Amino acid sequence: MESKALKAPSCSNCATCSQGIFSVFKGAELSRLSEKKVFQLYKKGQYIFKEKAEPKGLFCIHDGNVKITKESEDGKEQIVRLAKAGNFIGYRALLCNDIYQASAIALEDTYVCFYNKEIYFELLYSNPAIAAQTIKVLTRDLRFAENMMLNMAQKHVKGRIAEILLMLEEFYGVYEKDGTINATLKREDIGHLVGTTTETSIRVISELVKDHLIELKGKRIMLINKEKILELSNRKN
């Protein structure tokens, strides 16, 4: 299924533009940037780009959530990073002139701005501030991935799931209306984040509910005993 091209919103009026690589642009620069992008809708579960494909440009998430995944030799999926509104994806392959080392998949219906690589490199080479901002974004994303790997090391599965719930709350924030984590992930996705099976993920989350550490509100999760979740994650040492 192909993505659906839509009328692009102006970068000048975009609340998420201030969070990414192009945050150094103002006024007329943002207006010119808007004219060069393609605005697309990716439905839930749809690939934005695939591992081993050749990069054609840069993607900025306007609204929605995305998982960055790698496939193991035995066909199992491992989520290596998450991305949300304001985040850029696909830029590392561009900078390295390499194929994608992972796939990007929409976790929900996601609106994305696409800039072809010629536009991006023109801006990168002509504007030192864009280069500096790219390094800043790259460093932030690497730190997130490294923290996730380090926090998962040498923890039992319940501790890993407790840790990922804390990280999800920190990354996405909470929904003001009911205090739930402001994202919906399937139990399968949580399993792929911590390197366990869907069945184990379901079992552990059910145990956390039974122990009154979390509460399920529809497809969302609320942390109701963060003190105990911190203990399970081994953050409190």
Structure confidence at residue 68 as a pLDDT band (50, 70, 90): very high
Helix (H) or strand (E) holding 79: strand 77-84
Helix (H) or strand (E) holding 65: strand 65-71
Q: What is the per-residue pLDDT across 151-181, written as a single tens digit (0 to 9) for each?
A: 667 788 999 999 999 999 999 999 988 999 9
Q: Which CATH superfamily is domain 4-144 in?
A: Jelly Rolls (2.60.120.10)
Q: What is the pTM of this model?
A: 0.86
User: Residue 118 to residues 30, 55, 76: CA-CA distances in angstroms?
Assistant: 17, 11, 34
* Two structure tokens written together for 82: 């998450």
Please state the domain extents for the chain.
4-144, 154-232
Determine the pLDDT at residue 4: 60
Please provide the average confidence, as pLDDT, over all residues in the chain: 89
Beta 57-63 vs 65-71: how paired, if at all?
unpaired
Structure confidence at residue 52 as a pLDDT band (50, 70, 90): very high
Q: For residue 71, give the amino acid letter.
A: E
Determine the pLDDT at residue 2: 58
Compute the distance between CA of residue 2 and CA of residue 49 in angstroms, rounded to an integer.
11
Determine the pLDDT at residue 147: 76
Q: What are phi and psi of 37, to 5 degrees?
A: -105, 165
**pLDDT of residue 1 exceeding 90:** no
- Tell me which CATH code domain 154-232 carries: 1.10.10.10
Q: Would you say the CATH fold of 154-232 matches that of 4-144?
A: no
